[in-house]
Amino acid sequence: MVDLVIRGATLVDGLGHEPWQADLAIEDGRIAAIGEIKGGAARTIDAGGLTLAPGIVDVHTHYDAQVTWDATLSPSPSLGVTTAVMGNCGFGIVPAPPAARDLVIRNLSIVEGMDLDALRQGITWDFESFSEYMAMLRRRGAYANLAVLAGHSTIRTAVMGEDASQRKEATPEELANMKAMVADAMANGAIGLGASYSLNHSGYGGLPMPSTIAPMSELDALVGAMGPRGRGVVEIASGAKTPQELEPLAAKHGRPLFQGTGVAMYNDQAPERAIRMFEECAAAIRRGAGLYIQIPCQPLSFDFTMANAYPFYSHGAFDPIKAFTPEQLKPVFRDPSWRAKFREDLKSPRPGMIFQGNWDRVMVAVAQKAANAKYVNRYAAEIAASEHRDPLDVVLDLSLDENLETAFLGRFLNFGDEGVAPLLKHEAGVVALSDAGAHLIYMCDAGFGLHFLAHWVRERGDFDIVEGIRRLTSHPADLYGIPNRGRIALGAQADLLLFDPATVGVTPAERVADLPGGGRRTIRRPTGVHGVFCNGIMTFDGKDYVQHAKGPGHVLDRFNSSLGAHAAIAAQ
């Protein structure tokens, strides 16, 4: 008798084959049979009228800290995710020598928009090395399969301490120690190495995140320390670095490199820039260098106040004040010379910056005073034009009038479906960048896969359901070398998503106070989801997480060579 039979669903296998109606049997966490299954089962689910697909593979998450106190990895499993890659951008919490721990999480709280008190109260530091971190993940058990990237910034901090964000050149001994930590991580099951050169990645006190100041020669040395060619992937928040700058790294080491950057997102101020980057990556792929772009399927938007104005932080005027308290910020924001400095910055924004001076994309979302209700749901540029003022003055004066508590919504990048669709379809693109587990104050894009199915498949028809499911499942899994995931096939792991294509999607964002210490975060909830299964075990029943003494997710530590999948795509 098998463990579970799901009867009568329409199967979309994630591999590009046409849908078909069949039963599916699960035994010992794997798909044991597909077709008409007549035998008994410990449990049977009638799925008539629903679609059964592989679980979503999210290759860009930041659950490294949250997993230590929340095995459910909320909200991702409820949103269809069964496999998550952590440690992106090089921002993890391991290695964790005691002297570096608080510095690591102080930086993490700023660069990834996390609640510092929640990090300090929530993380149990029962690990120091990468192997101990992986052992901790196995002991605790998560509700999704987890793969972990070694992190350039975290490793640099472990070796160099405070100097990691201040001194560009590591000593030969420090570099040797960093290389040893990368090699150790790979030996203990890391999927690859994450790093960042993003202009937007600043840590505590406004200092740059460590990897962003490191010379490319250091990153090259660390990628070389990963082991033989074809072993592991490299993920990089590439900032303003071009495909031409990154291709030699991918080619030299024979590892696919996945870059995420605002430069490669659609921007109607420079509509040809993103697609040009994709074409340059495609040319590199044809030359044999695995160079891919992680592209979000949702607009990149941020809700913020001027007390925590993350979208503006890449501009020099904010460098000295990023860690200021609201009371310290008020006199700065009143100062005409500081306003002049910020205006000067905005005259020449660099590619890769979140905010490009486009005040027509900054909306007043919530006003605290009744007298200011007239500004709600209006953009700063429009308010400024109607009142014959400068938009920066509008934003700052309104904020100062409301104790820096006015909430703004910035809609900056990846807006405009006609411009975004070609990027999502592109051969050099990987649908990703959910940032799940991070930016809790500003946004929640953990439901990217369900949004993709609702918007790009059902509503717009840019993808049919076959290709839409493939792009969320086997496509990222194969490029990252994750075996037996992202597919419905005999013998594959039973990571599954049961849903109604007519209603699948995500709810609007909502705020909840469920972080350690009562910290608040933003989440979304699923619609049209009837079940999520990880290794054959239901983790979410469509309404709530299913209680398990230990989560059924596997800690992934063995991967296929990335060269095989890359070669297949390069040959297409």
Among candidate residues 548, 558, 531, 498, the one with its CA nearest the CA of residue 8: 498
C-alpha–C-alpha distance, residues 503 and 275, integer Å: 31
167 pLDDT band, cuts 50/70/90, is very high
Q: 95-131: string of b/e by CB count within 10 Å (b at 16+)? A: bbeeebbebbbbbbbbbbbbbbebbeebbeeebbbbb
Interval 6-28: pLDDT, tens: 999 999 999 999 999 999 999 99
197 pLDDT band, cuts 50/70/90, is very high
Judging by beta carbons within 10 Å of its beta carbon (0-12, 13-18, 19+), is residue 347 exposed, middle or buried? Answer: exposed
C-alpha–C-alpha distance, residues 306 and 333, integer Å: 9
Q: Is the pLDDT of residue 563 over 70?
A: no
What domains can you pick out in the chain, each with its CATH number?
56-296+414-482 (3.20.20.140), 302-412 (no CATH)
Interval 45-70: pLDDT, tens: 999 999 999 999 999 999 999 999 99
C-alpha–C-alpha distance, residues 203 and 108, integer Å: 7
Q: What is the pLDDT of residue 213?
A: 97
569 pLDDT band, cuts 50/70/90, is low
C-alpha–C-alpha distance, residues 296 and 301, integer Å: 11
Chain centre to alpha carbon of residue 62: 6
Q: Is the pLDDT of residue 205 over 90?
A: no
Interval 490-536: pLDDT, tens: 999 999 999 999 999 999 888 899 999 998 888 999 999 999 999 99
Cα-trace Rg, the chain = 23
Interval 220-246: pLDDT, tens: 999 999 999 889 999 999 999 999 999
Q: What is the pLDDT of residue 280?
A: 98
Q: Are 499 and 461 in contact, with CB atoms under 8 Å apart?
A: no
Q: What is the pLDDT of residue 571?
A: 64
Q: What is the pLDDT of residue 424?
A: 98
Sign of CA dihedral 404, 519, 522, 122: positive
C-alpha–C-alpha distance, residues 6 and 48, integer Å: 9
Instruction: Specify the long-range contacts of residues 213-219, CB closer than 8 Å, at least 24 apart.
Output: 213/165, 213/166, 213/167, 213/168, 214/152, 214/156, 214/168, 214/170, 215/168, 215/169, 216/245, 216/249, 218/170, 218/175, 218/178, 219/152, 219/195, 219/249
Q: What is the pLDDT of residue 409?
A: 87
Mean pLDDT of the chain, nearest integer: 94
Chain centre to alpha carbon of residue 5: 33
Q: What is the pLDDT of residue 522?
A: 84
Q: Is the pLDDT of residue 472 over 90?
A: yes
Percent of the chain with pLDDT over 90: 83
Q: What is the pLDDT of residue 206?
A: 78
* Arithmetic mean of pLDDT, 165-172: 98
Copy the structure tokens of residue 166. Answer: 């201040």
Chain centre to alpha carbon of residue 295: 10
Q: Measured between alpha carbons, how far is residue 280 from residues 255, 285, 347 in Å? A: 17, 9, 28
Among candidate residues 551, 510, 516, the one with its CA nearest the CA of residue 533: 551
Please state the three-class secondary structure of 20-77 as a single string: EEEEEEEECCEEEEEECCCCCEEEEEECCCCEEEECEEECCECCCCHHHCCCCCCCCH
Antiparallel, parallel or unpaired: β 257-260 and 233-237: parallel
Q: Is the pLDDT of residue 303 over 80?
A: no
**Residue 207 DSSP class:** P
Q: Are 190 and 130 in contact, with CB atoms under 8 Å apart?
A: yes
Q: Are 95 and 87 in contact, with CB atoms under 8 Å apart?
A: no
Among candidate residues 302, 303, 306, 301, the one with its CA nearest the CA of residue 397: 306
566 pLDDT band, cuts 50/70/90, is low
Q: Which residue has the higher pLDDT, 565 or 295?
A: 295
Q: Are 508 and 1 in contact, with CB atoms under 8 Å apart?
A: no
C-alpha–C-alpha distance, residues 518 and 523, integer Å: 15
Q: Which residue has the higher pLDDT, 300 or 108?
A: 108
Antiparallel, parallel or unpaired: β 145-151 and 192-196: parallel
C-alpha–C-alpha distance, residues 471 and 386, integer Å: 45
Q: Are 94 and 130 in contact, with CB atoms under 8 Å apart?
A: yes
565 pLDDT band, cuts 50/70/90, is low
* Arithmetic mean of pLDDT, 257-281: 94
C-alpha–C-alpha distance, residues 140 and 551, integer Å: 7
Q: What is the pLDDT of residue 570?
A: 63
Q: Tell me how many degrees the CA angle 144-193-439 measures, rounded to the nearest 5.
A: 60
Q: Is 496 helix (H, G, I), strand (E, B) or coil?
A: strand
* Arithmetic mean of pLDDT, 141-149: 98
Interval 426-444: pLDDT, tens: 999 999 999 999 877 667 8
Lowest mean pLDDT, pick from 95-109, 151-165, 552-566 = 552-566
Q: What is the pLDDT of residue 100?
A: 97
300 pLDDT band, cuts 50/70/90, is confident
* Arithmetic mean of pLDDT, 318-342: 94
Tokens 């090089």 belong to: 90
Percent of the chain with pLDDT over 70: 98
Among candidate residues 368, 446, 354, the one with its CA nearest the CA of residue 400: 368
